Structure 1
Amino acid sequence: MHDVIRDMALWLACDNGKKKNNILVQEEAKKFAKWKEAKRIYLNGNDFDKDQTQNPFCPNLLTLLFRKASWNRFPSEFSHSMQVLDLSECDLNTLPGEIGSLVNLHYLNLSYTRIWKLPYEVGNLINLRSLLLDFTDELRYISGDVVSRLLSLQIFSKLANPYYLRDGNFYLQGSLMEKLDCLPYLSDVCLTLCSNECVQKLLNSSKLLQCIRQLSLFPCARSIEITSSAIRKMEHLESLEISSSDLEKMEVYVDRTITRHDYFDNLHHLHVWLCPLKDVSWLVYAPSLQILSLCLCDMDAVIRGDSGSVEIEESSAIFSSLTDLILEKMPELKYIHRGVLTFPCLTKVYIFGCPKLRRLPLDSRSAVNSLKEIRGEKDWWEGLHWDDEAAKHMFDLKFAEGYPLVCVSFFPVMIFNSWISIYISF
């Protein structure tokens, strides 16, 4: 934002400058003496004094965005009228029990902190609507007794880095899933599940299936079966990540009498990596898919035409919304789809380490007005087989060797944290 626009916005928000300490941002926010009048404070704490011992006095504070602070403890006294508290990326390892006195709190973001326990008193936050705990890698256990008392909770998010889940200390227990299932107003959930028990509890819960928006699966099972009924209930699922060295099959059962748009209609992102899945043919039932990333998988086909559980429909409907196709280190991959696809929205194709992939599902009518670039190894590109010379010439112009300078992660961990915009507008 331009400085002039920013200053004007702050001036208007502070009653035309009459209450200039209503909103404190950055340098002004570091002056604790001004916190007495403040209602909203934003402070990026990269250069905040970590030895600060003074506890701020802020009786009128409603919103505190205190990110990347070097404090390893949090002041125990804050305004009981506070509604929004964002401590994401703070060097914080404990929360005081006094946080339970913030009974008007609506939004609590503790993502990317080092907290290892949620105080029992968090359950006293009877007006809390959003609880975000993404990538709190030290937090291995969340008491169901805390969550069950958050009866106003609408949004719950606990995404995790899978590398911290390999020691067997799984933080998300089946009992917690049961407590989430009982919250009356819960409507939006993001979870990382790494036990078969939790995966099955999700698939058996109509409530959680309807709430799930982002899902990361790291199961130990060799196969997962998803029924037609379960798929239709996951109407809000936008992002799915799958990684498991054991998972060989993901069976998706559909009712052929129901239109394909009743399945995975809002799924926008799929990331599969380090997984022996043989295909993801069920993606023909994901008409809104925008990003497909497959890495270090054993599959020999992306969409298999002879799949027994998926009826391959007309090619024009497959990947009709796809913008980014990323395939890396897929040594057995032979084809993406046996037919030609139109790819009307495709903008980027990144293919590396797929030596057996000798044909692309492209012709001169594919991605005509959308494609910006194709990247891969030069030897692989020159060895591709084309049935349409016009297509070969057209796509030659889009090809560039090597990885892009600015590139999506080929080992993706889903981070789509834009909740704060729902509640706060400076």
Structure 2
Amino acid sequence: MESLKRLKVIGMTVSTLAALQNLCDSPRLAPLTHWLHIEGCPDLTMFNIPSMDFHAETMSSLGQIQLHAMSELEEVVIGNRQPILLPLQDLQLSSLPKAKLVWRAMFPNTLRELKIEGCGAIDRLIKLEGEANGSGETVITIFPDLHTMVLRRLPELKSLNDGERILNFPSLKTIKVEDCPKLTKLTLVADGLKEIKCQRSWWEQLNWGDERTKSFEHLYNPMNID
């Protein structure tokens, strides 16, 4: 592929750490990678976006990452202790039974779509690091450009916030929820939200006595289940 002189854009699927390293180390292919699908990788227990370990700074055009079917992956960390520019707009996590999503400061976030499904260990949307723990409720914006959030088959998901820290999504337009039986409150700030697509049975079991949840009661949009 490195010999293709007219190559301008590629999407790549890798299933080993060696293959990922080789891709990131390629001065020809890394800057052309717009879509990256990683699956398998049995020895991978943490994946950092962006990652100094895999020289992700070379992937200057990477807009979409999909992480799929990695049984030992425990953390997907967004952000780094050193800022790396990465134009990531679409992040998808699927079939990751042990993984949890962690946000760390120092990441210029451009994320527009977040899709999480089949991740049985996730009990809150995201764990926040690098933020001061004050007394009382704190509202934090970490995904300023996010407009679509999809949550499917998350049996342990109970909260969209992290303790007293409430997430603000100023650009969020659509939330899709399916098979998240323990999620009973919509504790978030999303003033521009237009719809919540979900099953009627889940919508009816929400805690409408909760003030934040009640503020979204006019946004129900029935989901058609195939």
Give the aligned partner of residue 302 of structure 1.
125
1:82 corresponds in structure 2 to none
Aligned residues of 2:111 and 2:146 also touching (Cα < 8 A): yes
Unaligned runs of 5+ in 1: 1-146, 156-187, 406-426
Equivalent position of 1:232 in the other structure:
57
Render the CA deviation track for 1:8-28: whole Å, top value 9, x for unaligned: xxxxxxxxxxxxxxxxxxxxx
For 2:150, the aligned partner's letter is I
Deviation at 1:327, TM superposition (A): 0.5
Q: Select the structure with the greater relative contact order (CA < 8 A; seq sep ≥ 6).
A: 2
Change in CA separation of 1:153 and 1:372 when aligned onto 2, cut-off 3 Å: same
Contiguous gaps of at least 5 residues in structure 2:
133-137
State yes or no: 1:384 paired with 2:210.
no
The answer on whether the counterparts of 1:278 and 1:301 sit within 8 Å (CA) in structure 2 is no
The one-letter code sitting in structure 2 at the alignment partner of 1:327 is L
Deviation at 1:208, TM superposition (A): 4.1
* Identical counterparts, % of pairs: 24
> Which structure: greater strand fraction?
2
**Alpha-carbon offset, residue 315 of structure 1:** 4.8
How far does residue 330 in structure 1 lie from its aligned partner after superposition? 0.8
Kindly indicate whether the alpha-carbon contact (under 8 Å) linking 2:80 and 2:104 is maintained by their aligned counterparts in 1.
Answer: no
Q: Do the aligned residues in 1 keep the contact of 2:176 with 2:198 (CA within 8 Å)?
A: yes
Which residue is 1:191 aligned to?
12
- Letter of the structure 1 residue corresponding to residue 196 of structure 2: I
Judged with a 3 Å threshold, the aligned counterparts in structure 2 of structure 1 residues 253 and 383 are, in CA distance, closer, same or farther, namely closer
Residue in structure 2 matched with residue 24 of structure 1 by the alignment: none
1:207, 1:148 → 2: CA distance? Answer: 6
- Counterpart of 1:396 (choices 217, 221, 224) is 217
User: What is the distance in 2 between the residues matched to 1:375 and 1:235?
Assistant: 34
Partner of 1:280: 101
**Count of aligned positions:** 213
Counterpart residue number, 1:271: 92
Q: Does 1:243 align with 2:68?
A: yes
Matches within 5 A, 1:239-388: 239-250=64-75, 252=77, 255-256=80-81, 258-259=82-83, 262-264=84-86, 266-282=87-103, 285=107, 287-298=109-120, 299-305=122-128, 310-312=129-131, 315-338=139-162, 339-362=165-188, 366-368=189-191, 370-385=192-207
Q: CA deviation at 1:296?
A: 1.3
CA shift, 1:289, in A, is 0.9
Instruction: Quote how far apart the aligned CAs of 1:383 are.
Output: 3.3
How far, CA to CA, are the matches of 1:375 and 1:253 in structure 2?
26
TM-score by length of 1: 0.44
State whether residues 267 and 286 of structure 1, in contact with CA within 8 Å, keep that contact through their aligned partners in structure 2.
Answer: no
Q: Which residue of 2 aligns with 1:213?
A: 34
Deviates more, 1:266-275 or 1:321-330: 266-275
Q: Secondary structure at the match of 2:172?
A: coil
1:239, distance to aligned residue in structure 2 (A) = 0.8
Whether the 8 Å contact between 2:24 and 2:56 is mirrored in structure 1 is no
CA distance in 1, matches of 2:77, 2:202: 33
Q: Distance in 2 between matches of 1:286 and 1:351?
A: 27
Moved more, 343-352 or 333-342: 333-342
Residue pair 1:239, 1:269 contacting (<8 A) in 2 also: yes
Query: Does the aligned pair in 2 maintain the 1:375–1:404 contact within 8 Å?
Result: no
- CA-atom RMSD, angstroms? 3.1
CA shift in 2, pair 1:201/1:252, >3 Å: farther
Q: Deviations over 1:355-400 (max 9, x none)?
A: 12233232xxx322x22111223343343346853x4443101113
| CA shift digits 1:139-165 (9 cap, x unpaired) | xxxxxxxx4543x2332xxxxxxxxxx
SS in 2 for 1:210: helix
How far did 1:251 drift? 5.6
Please list the CA deviations of residues 240-265 of structure 1 after superposition, one character each: whole Å capped at 9, or x if unmatched: 11111424234648653x45xx343x
Change (3 A) 1:254 1:371: closer
Check whether the contact 1:228–1:254 (CA below 8 A) recurs between aligned residues.
Answer: no
Given that 2:76 and 2:101 are in contact with CA atoms closer than 8 Å, whether structure 1 keeps it comes out as no
The separation in 2 between residues aligned to 1:251 and 1:296, in whole angstroms, is 14
Q: 1:320 to 1:300 in 2, by over 3 A?
A: same
Computing the radius of gyration from Cα coordinates, the structure with the larger value is: 1
